[in-house]
Chain A
Amino acid sequence: MTSAPTNDIEFRSVTKRYGAVTAVSDINLSVPKGAFVALLGPSGCGKTTCLRMIGGFEQPSEGEVLIAGKVANGVPAYRRPVNMVFQHYALFPHFDVERNVAYGLRQLRPRLPAAEIARRVGEALEMVRLTGFARRRIHEMSGGQQQRVALARALVNKPSVLLLDEPLAALDKKLRTAMQIELQTLQRDLGITFVLVTHDQEEALSMSDLVCVMSAGRIRQLATPQEVYDRPADLFVADFVGKTNRFAGTLETGGTVRLGNGAALPAARADLAPGAVTVALRPEAIRLSRGTAGATTLEGTVTHRIFLGSAAEYSVAVDGLGDLLVTAERHSQSQNDLVAPGERVAISFDPGQTHIFPA
């Protein structure tokens, strides 16, 4: 027999089709108990379908979805020990805040005593800092407050898994950052597994323990945020998560990559067959220096500068290679720390920072 499940959510070869369209294709995924997982990908990548299959709003066409070690296929949404925070909150407009939050508890059989419900609703409202708002109508509240009502309405049930469908998409930037921190704190304090769906890579990287990057119905990489960023599994992940420079090159026998302008990069990649490759390089891994430097083989002219305060983003037209995006931290508050458009620069980077993918 199986021992106590260590995974709260498990996908076993899950495929979901809508008619001729395959939304999710042969997904295998394990979400450990108490983890904060982000399903990240562009719209239409199948991340929301996966979330809805956990919630019970969709049933897989093939494969199994397990919740707390039990196969959940065919179990309707109202019998699943998971709760969801909907993208547009989906609060009940004809109830006040308290009745919205109490709704899940009121459905439990045998019935909970009224005092118990009131106590837990009070706790949930306190948790999302909405004490005193119990009698408010939903349309009297701001977007950020509605978001927190939705959160309280889900968390009051103490679900084993909380599903979040783009919960912060409708909030302005400042509120979003505040909610990101709040969500993270809540997740750590409660120890509930969170599954977050988002197309915002920053959100995924900053909040979660595990990022599941998806595209076209498949998982491209499942790893920690740092690993996804530092060691992207493929070109799609490198492109989608963070900013990336990419240029075409040829991998030669003996472990060098020859770039379009003739420059050679050392690349010890025994696993790749010689031939056309794409080299990816993060903007912050590149250093700029004024004028020409003897050792470097790449030189170019700065075409644009975007001043970001603590750093600056440059677009550099590299001789023989095309445009390159460079992020440079500033170390002092002097004009000297900034390169002006039109200036010639030398470009250097650690070859170990590059990622090489088959083209």
Chain B
Amino acid sequence: MRALITAVYLFLYAPIALVVLFSFNAGRNASEFTGFSVEWYGKALANPFLITALQNSLIIALVSATLAAVFGTMAALGLERLGSRARAVFDGLLAAAIVVPGVVIGIATLVALVAVFGAINPAIAAIWPGERPPQLGLGYGSIIAAHGLFTMALVTMIVKARIATLGRDIVEASADLYATPLTTFRDIVLPQILPSVLAGFLLAFTFSFDDFIVAFFVAGSKTTLPIYVFASIRRGVTPEVNAIATMVLVASLLLILIARLLMREKTRKSPAGE
């Protein structure tokens, strides 16, 4: 039994460990460790294509995670006021949004966007007074929309769990003490759900930053970091790819760690008295 467990963990984590190890390889060969070096990190960071892809990924992750955090929180707040039956339906839809495979989301989003663009672009062209009407197309916008939508479900789940522990009575107490709904939200609700909103934001950011599948479908001509890495492997696995992967790994782990800490912090503190 123990041997089996060891084997499973080895299978899961050994490749990742190897990637990290070989990112520090002095030689060019990906199967033979010839000495310690950080030169590939330097090479990776000097690669203009890589930097552009990284910038794209960061912009997309930042914007989509921000949208997901804002709208996900709004959805969580709104869902709390629904009747129990409607809420059950939306809870199911949320869970579905999270478990639907990326391929399906990717294809569905692509098909939907192409259909919408196909309908809207001629309409714009018809009413556009100038020579060259703007064309809606795949790019930043489409990746941000796709990422924002499926990570929004994630934020909603996390914030909803936090709201459930809040109880309605502190909201009522605030209203009872003459606070308008806006003040109640700003001074009472928001400070208490903020850690979960931030946690949701960080997870959404990581999801978007790491996502290859959905982005691959809707990216158009834009290259995100995972797409760049995928494309560069076709030219062979170089220690440069390993270095990029290691940097992404460390950054993602860090963000997820912070998110976990934010979520734990609040659940530990909240039950006052009793």
Contacts and interface: CB of A to CB of B under 8 A. Distances in A.
A90 B170 CA distance: 5
Interface in A200-224: none
A139 B175 contact: no
Interface of A: 55-57, 76-79, 82-84, 86-94, 103-104, 107-108, 138-139, 141-143, 146, 153-154, 157
A147 to B, nearest CB: 10
Contacts of B180: 78, 107
Given A88-B169, A91-B272, A93-B272, A103 B192 contact: no
A143 B183 contact: no
A135 B271 CA distance: 19
B191 interface: yes
Contact residues of B: prevailing secondary structure: helix
Given A93-B192, A107-B183, A143-B273, A153 B178 contact: no
B173 A86 contact: yes
Contacts of B175: 56-57, 76-78
Contacts of A84: 172-173, 176
Among B170, B191, B272, find the residue whose CB has the most chain A CB atoms closer than 10 A. B272
Interface residues of B, number: 23
B176 A78 contact: yes
Among A87, A89, A138, find the residue whose CB has the most chain B CB atoms closer than 10 A. A89
A14 to B, nearest CB: 20
A153 to B, nearest CB: 7
A162 B65 CA distance: 45
A79 B183 CA distance: 13
B177 A139 contact: no
Interface in B181-229: 181, 183, 188, 191-192
B2 interface: no
Nearest to B184: A78
Contacts of A107: 177-180, 183
Contacts of A91: 170, 173, 272
A103 B174 contact: yes
11 contacts: A57-B172, A57-B175, A78-B176, A83-B177, A89-B273, A90-B170, A93-B269, A103-B177, A103-B179, A107-B179, A142-B273
